Amino acid sequence: MKPAFPSVYAILTADLVTGDESAIARTLANAGVGLIQYRDKAASSRTLFEKSARIAHALAGSDVRFIVNDRPDIACLAGAGGTHVGQEDLAVEDARAVCGEAASAGTGASSFWVGVSTHTLDQVGEVAKTSADYIAVGPIFPTSTKKSDLVVGSDFIRRARKLTSKPLVAIGGITVARALEVFRAGANCVAVASDLIAAADPAARAREYLGIAASCCK
C-alpha cells in the first residue's frame, strides 16, 4: 500500500533559521514532520551545498524526505530526497535528468522527488501531465516570506483538486488558524515557514499542524 503523502511540509529559509539548520531539521523530524525543504536563494553554490549536505546527513535514516529548493544538482550531490522548482526554473523532466536514473521514475516511484510551484489553474493542469511528485499551489494567503502580488485563496485548492490526483501542497501565509480551512479545501499538505520556524516551540507547533491534519482525515 502506498504511504500517505506527508501532511506537514516545513520550509527552512535562511532568513528564518538562526543557528544550525540541521538542528531545527532534526527537531521537526522528531516532532513528526514528513517533508522538510531548505531554501536560500542568496547563498553561493558551495554554501548551499554544505548546508544541504549537513541537513541531509542529520535526517539520514529517518522517514523524512529532504528537499532542496531550486537546485536539483545540489540536491543530488548533497544526498537530498528531492528538489522543488518554480515556474522560472528547470522543467520537471529536466530536473530529473540532472540526477540521472535515481530520479527517472517520478510519480512517487522514484527515490528522488520533484515538486513544482503553481499559481494559476492552467499551470496546475500542465504540471499534472508531468511526472511531478506533488504540486504546490499558492500563495493561498498573503505571506512575508515570498514577495507576490497574487494571492489565490483556499477556493483555488478546490478548483485545482478537480484537475489532478497528484498531491496538492498549499503554501503561502499558512497558520494554525487557517490550516483546517486549507485541508478541507482539498490540500494533502500544508507548507509552513514563518508560523512554524519562528514559533517559540517549533516542535509543539508542528504537532498542532499534524493534529489538525489528522482530524480532517477521520
> How far is Cα 54 from Cα 204, in angstroms, rounded to an integer?
24
Query: Given this model, what pLDDT does residue 101 score?
Result: 55
Active-site annotation holds for 154: no
Q: Is 117 a catalytic residue?
A: yes
Helices and strands counted in the chain (H then E): 9, 8
In the set 146, 159, 161, 207, the catalytic residue is 146
Position 107 confidence tier, pLDDT thresholds 50, 70, 90: very low
Q: Of the residues 117, 131, 166, 205, which is catalytic?
A: 117
pLDDT tens track for 52-90: 999 999 999 999 999 999 999 999 999 999 999 999 999
| Mean pLDDT, the chain, integer | 92
Class at the top of the CATH hierarchy for domain 8-216: alpha beta
Residue the block writes with cell 491534519: 213
Among the listed residues 7, 22, 39, 71, the single catalytic one is 39
| Cα–Cα nearest to 189, from 141, 111, 134, 130 | 134
Q: Which amino acid, one-letter code, is at 152? A: V
Maximum pairwise Cα distance, the chain: 45
- Concerning whether 148 is annotated as a catalytic residue, the answer is no
Please tell me the pTM assigned to this model. Answer: 0.93
Instruction: Name the residue ranges covered by the structural domains of the chain.
Output: 8-216
Closest CA to 187 of 207, 211, 160, 209: 160
